[in-house]
Structure 1
């Protein structure tokens, strides 16, 4: 574990329970919402959390009265000795800690969750795996042997396809998928809601952690026990770290798996949500399908498995952007048309059922008499010729204006739009030239011109 940055130290003092031994947890900790307000205010006055540990902290705390109780902040910042004990314990167990202010913080979480990304992450293992993307596999803790085998085989195929499995590390679906990947020589990310320290000390996990095939990560103290709220919230992280997702099973209208999947489909839309399409029927999976989830096409080999990752979701949750799409995305203004029903869920056809699937241009057909070049016709009957690049840039411009309402880094914009840094640079420079956005130097970033 590398030394904690000053920003991380300050954030831990303000938000972390710093559980050491049987000590009593402080009840004065800032909640995520409270810390978010404080961090926003510090940014507005051009200060960082680390500045709360300097000689000018008294003046900064006085300024922060507008968003937090000065005495409360002072008491939390005085827990330096407790922090040193916690850090010593974490170091002895090879547990690392990073904050949003650190360069190692996963770009995917920053780009997708933005201000709602956890202020602090604890983990064990190769932190670089968090940038891999991969397949999120989620489901219930209580599953029968048939689903254990099914989920294990998904993890195994992911390993053979050089795709990382991302799951919650709990019994049932989570562990089955992760073990399928790890036992087949693949890689896995376990996003934990509880007991990071205990899990990291397990003999089986230690071997995979040591070999660089597994990373465990949590937004909660390494000694924190089970908490329903934590279990529900970690679903956001699982999906945000992934490129695609598969719901193996769930309970209708209840539980974390159901809530997380519904949130992805209806609101966040970070990744496509697939549902198991073979085996025992499930009312919960049927309900998710009716909301827009996609039937899992049951790939049988790495080639067909990797085709699944050509599916993309529109990157915005806001209603006015729900139909926007980037290169390789298909646009459908009617959410009810995002899936194509199959007559039998037991089908093993590996062709993708969603209209979001990427297709070569030569395979995109019109059912009418027009040629593809004249498929868009106005009321006058005159064919409309569209410049695809201008259409694409117009869409990107609207999305970037939403993302850059506050100063935003180029890398964060690239991550939010799921594009390369080079493409983001090209679009941002054009917007600068057009006078739409302004390039900042301290700190480096971009913001919409007012």
Structure 2
């Protein structure tokens, strides 16, 4: 599937992308990720979206953004329409698609797990749906011996046999070996590149795989961008965020992108379980990661034992919301907005809002597993939570367990004022259920309802603890 370039994506490209092949991000006017994040927040607060900046009557809106980004700078960036049309034509000729956080096709896992740090724009080639399939992330050093490359290829082949997507970074060494093993065995691969996407997708070896939907390549950086150490470091979190489990095959100690990305997962993000290779020649880097909490790879030899590595639930971070309870089915398309797509108050609301205000970080574990050992009536992956309805009867003890998770979600969501309908859309429950949960927190004095806007906001964080 090749998504169409949306008006919001065009506006974000004008603000953040170089638009000239080979120029990288050298233009002094381009918004940095941090600057765009501030602009996105501001647009959300004044109930606008990026596409509004290029509308015929955008002059007043540009002035309203002056406190965040200089109006003249915005005008210069937004006036690059001719350059944008040229580079779009170049990308389309290479089957490169572009999506932004404002688009419904944007990978849900990245929005949920990275929140506002999810890249504003993703460039890619191949089947975008593959990015939502999870799978095993395999990472490691660039310079390794043939024995380690053969070992890594065997992991990729086993992932293919188990019908698990292989997620990696496309770099020389471990990354490419894992991807090659999976592809040669007929498996699916998602590659997150730090550079030269345009060159890579034109590689004859990759073209048929991309066309057939077996391989998808993405990058948060301009398709013509060259290698940059900082970019390589930053894209690591995307690899982990797209996966269900991860394996570090090799790592230096206290240096390199593999080490940095693994430590970030173990110490802070904790999106997925982190395994380290446990056979063959060991390294001080892997030993140190094990001491930080990484688990020894059990060396599965068949599909059943391979699938068991995905049953481990990643530990919950202390500093940020990372719950192993999932309120959403694996087939739903919740858009946890990090993008300021706020509908005007008078505009008709879509049946399923694409502009959900939620900023939720969840590991996608089935609800039945999350609530174990308390049994649910129908322990399916696609269970929808409608606690107030007859479709899901939950005993009082289970309801309390569930509300404990909901309480933490609401504490995070209501740091920014939200209305009950927005809460319902964010948690994918009925309005009645959302109101019931909010009323309970009102009664406890943990939140308050603003009189003018009828929005709810945290009043006393200590009551959530």
Q: 1:62 to 1:283 in 2, by over 3 A?
A: same
Is the 1:107–1:412 contact (alpha carbons within 8 Å) kept by the matching residues of 2? no
Is the 2:131–2:242 contact (alpha carbons within 8 Å) kept by the matching residues of 1? yes
C-alpha distance in structure 2 between counterparts of 1:189 and 1:136, whole Å: 9
How many Å apart are 1:413 and its aligned residue?
5.6
Match of residue 216 from structure 1: 217
Match of residue 267 from structure 1: 268
* Deviates further, 8-17 or 425-434: 425-434
Q: 1:311 to 1:411 in 2, by over 3 A?
A: farther
Match of residue 237 from structure 1: 238
Is the 1:140–1:173 contact (alpha carbons within 8 Å) kept by the matching residues of 2? yes
Query: Which of residues 411, 422, 426 in structure 2 aligns to 1:401?
Result: 411
Match of residue 381 from structure 1: none
How many Å apart are 1:405 and its aligned residue?
3.0
Q: Pick 1 or 2: higher relative contact order, CA cutoff 8 A, min separation 6.
A: 2
TM, length-normalised to structure 1? 0.78
* Deviates further, 210-219 or 308-317: 308-317
Match of residue 126 from structure 2: 125
Partner secondary structure for residue 156 of structure 1? helix
Match of residue 79 from structure 1: 80
How many Å apart are 1:427 and its aligned residue?
7.0
RMSD: 2.9
Is the 1:167–1:238 contact (alpha carbons within 8 Å) kept by the matching residues of 2? yes
Q: 1:187 to 1:57 in 2, by over 3 A?
A: same
Query: What are the ranges of 5 or more consecutive residues in structure 1 without an aligned counterpart?
Result: 328-356, 363-385, 415-420, 440-445
Render the CA deviation track for 1:147-185: whole Å, top value 9, x for unaligned. 101110111111111100000001111011111111101
Partner secondary structure for residue 125 of structure 2? strand
C-alpha distance in structure 2 between counterparts of 1:411 and 1:86, whole Å: 40
TM, length-normalised to structure 2? 0.76
Matches within 5 A, 1:39-118: 39-118=40-119
Matches within 5 A, 1:134-213: 134-213=135-214
Query: What are the ranges of 5 or more consecutive residues in structure 2 without an aligned counterpart?
Result: 327-368, 375-395, 450-454, 460-465
How many Å apart are 1:316 and its aligned residue?
4.4
Is the 1:432–1:438 contact (alpha carbons within 8 Å) kept by the matching residues of 2? no
Match of residue 276 from structure 1: 277
How many Å apart are 1:314 and its aligned residue?
4.0
How many Å apart are 1:207 and its aligned residue?
1.3
* Deviates further, 178-187 or 424-433: 424-433
